Chain A
Amino acid sequence: MNGMLAIRYETPQSVGEAVRLMAADPDARVLAGGTDLLVQFRAGVRQPSAFVDVKRIPELMSITIDGQGLRLGAATAAAVIGEHVELRTLWPGLVEAVQLIGSTQIQGRGSVGGNLCNASPAADTTCALIVNRADCVIAGPGGERTVPVEEFCIAPGRTVLQRGELLIALRLPRPAARTSDAYLRLIPRSEMDIAVVGAAVSVTLDANGVCRSARVAIGAVAPTALLVPEAAKALVGSSLDAASLKRAAEAASTAARPIGDKRGTAGYRRTVAGVLTRRAAAIAAGRARRK
């Protein structure tokens, strides 16, 4: 250990204390579940000067649902989210995205805030948050600010967080009547893999089953997850029949600008982005009709 600088381990008890720690030291890193950070640390990719463990801050570990909607503490473990019955009922697509991440063990640690802050273009929760109009609540030396989730990640591994800032919660408006969501991803096996393509859709129907508003987001097909207004436009005003779903699929494929790699060629990803959009829209529509 000769010459090695001690890495500090900090356990702030409040958001204010966490902000002060982060602002005082640009090399400090927020530790939530550690499922990305500790792997990167071990691999030598990141060498933080301090781990700021935010899991003792109640606001980062809580789930509140009221008339306004959901406030999801950024460090709440995926397993806790999966066990929350009301959350599952109101946002089934978000919860299915959360539950796709890793194994049972990883679910016991990993959080939605961490998934977002890791800023992988293939992160499963990002698309589901985007279609649900989530806002990121960010605390910093100047107080709190909110950023729409589709603007939070700016490049692979990079977010809008500035020095001294940390993500403390996600806020989702309560879904309107006959609204539901769905998330699908393609992986080459049945469990435990990273999305080759992901797609989330949220739809709101009127009493006659006509789609009144929609949101479509696709992941792993660009440097960040993409909100695709053209695909949503193809759904609005329709009864979500096969023809409109096909138009939404085409719009999603057109919006995708994927790379080709060992996990899938660019052309394959573009095609699958459309297929998953169509299927997720159909699932979201089915769920909305039952509400």
Chain B
Amino acid sequence: MTVTKLHIETTINGEPREFLCDSHETLLSALRNGLGLTGTKEGCATGDCGACSILLDGRLVPACLVLAPEAQGRAVTTIEGLSSGDALHPLQQKFLEHAALQCGVCTPGFIVAAKALLDAKPNPSEDETRYWLAGNLCRCTGYDKIIRAVLDAASEMKESAI
């Protein structure tokens, strides 16, 4: 029996994109292997670690628990869509300034999840930030620097919005 690939038309980081995938392939796999968008990382592949966080129609989801064909007609945002050309997103800049990463595998997931937080709540408290990011695991930093980077980005984005 021939395994036929599905043809999917979607929007990724604002651009119309097409790709071929297996019906049971994850969106994570399609992004990384089909589309070459390797910024989104695979950690646990069971929805526990947050490394593959993306936005699907603006909603924060783990790309490892989304089937690739589900992206048909949807809008996907990955870490590659956050910077504008060479200009880093404030979250990316603050992660650098606060040294909020070491090995970097969890970082794209943290930044995408933090973007979803700031989209929903531009001025989160430290508690809200820690709870929101509880599904993103980091084995290097001990989290404090990440939280500080997110809160600093929030206050800077608020200032620049005024």
Interface string of B98-132 (1 = CB under 8 A from A): 00000000000000010011000000000000011
CB of A58 to closest CB in B, whole Å: 15
- Contact in complex: B61, A108 (CB < 8 Å): yes
Which residues of chain A are within 8 angstroms of B72 by Cβ–Cβ distance? 11
Interface string of A95-107 (1 = CB under 8 A from B): 0000000111110
Partner among A8, A31, A39 whose Cβ is within 8 Å of the Cβ of B47: A39
If A6-B3, A106-B62 touch, whether A191 touches B26 (CB-CB below 8 Å) is no
How long is the Cα–Cα vector from A244 to B149 in the complex, in angstroms? 50
Which residues of chain B are within 8 angstroms of A134 by Cβ–Cβ distance? none
Interface status of B90 (Cβ within 8 A of chain A): no
**Contact stretch, chosen from B11-19, B63-71, B80-88, B151-159:** B63-71
Interface status of A79 (Cβ within 8 A of chain B): yes
Which residues of chain A are within 8 angstroms of B4 by Cβ–Cβ distance? 6
Interface status of B53 (Cβ within 8 A of chain A): yes
Interface string of A109-146 (1 = CB under 8 A from B): 10000000000000000000000000000000000000
Interface status of B140 (Cβ within 8 A of chain A): no
If A5-B1, A42-B46, A105-B50 touch, whether A77 touches B59 (CB-CB below 8 Å) is yes
Partner among A7, A55, A79, A109 whose Cβ is within 8 Å of the Cβ of B62: A109
- Contact in complex: A41, B24 (CB < 8 Å): yes
Which residues of chain B are within 8 angstroms of A108 by Cβ–Cβ distance? 56, 59-61
Interface status of B35 (Cβ within 8 A of chain A): no
Interface status of B96 (Cβ within 8 A of chain A): no
Which residues of chain A are within 8 angstroms of B6 by Cβ–Cβ distance? 9
- Contact in complex: B53, A105 (CB < 8 Å): yes
- Contact in complex: A105, B113 (CB < 8 Å): yes
Instruction: Find residues 28-83 in chain A having any chain B CB closer than 8 Å to their own CB.
Output: 31, 33-35, 38-39, 41-43, 51, 53, 55, 77, 79
Partner among A6, A8, A35, A104 whose Cβ is within 8 Å of the Cβ of B65: A35
How long is the Cα–Cα vector from A31 to B3 in the complex, in angstroms? 21
How long is the Cα–Cα vector from A104 to B132 in the complex, in angstroms? 6
Which residues of chain B are within 8 angstroms of A102 by Cβ–Cβ distance? 47, 135
CB of B102 to closest CB in A, whole Å: 22
Interface status of B20 (Cβ within 8 A of chain A): no
- Contact in complex: A104, B134 (CB < 8 Å): yes
CB of B128 to closest CB in A, whole Å: 11
Interface status of B45 (Cβ within 8 A of chain A): yes
- Contact in complex: B134, A192 (CB < 8 Å): yes
Partner among B3, B60, B67, B116 whose Cβ is within 8 Å of the Cβ of A1: B3
Partner among B45, B65, B67 whose Cβ is within 8 Å of the Cβ of A53: B67
How long is the Cα–Cα vector from A106 to B113 in the complex, in angstroms? 12
Residue of B nearest to A48 (CB): B24
How long is the Cα–Cα vector from A99 to B162 in the complex, in angstroms? 33
How long is the Cα–Cα vector from A224 to B72 in the complex, in angstroms? 37
Residue of A nearest to B70 (CB): A53
Which residues of chain B are within 8 angstroms of A77 by Cβ–Cβ distance? 59
- Contact in complex: B1, A51 (CB < 8 Å): no
- Contact in complex: A4, B3 (CB < 8 Å): yes
- Contact in complex: A109, B3 (CB < 8 Å): no
If A108-B60, A191-B134 touch, whether A39 touches B24 (CB-CB below 8 Å) is no
CB of B62 to closest CB in A, whole Å: 4
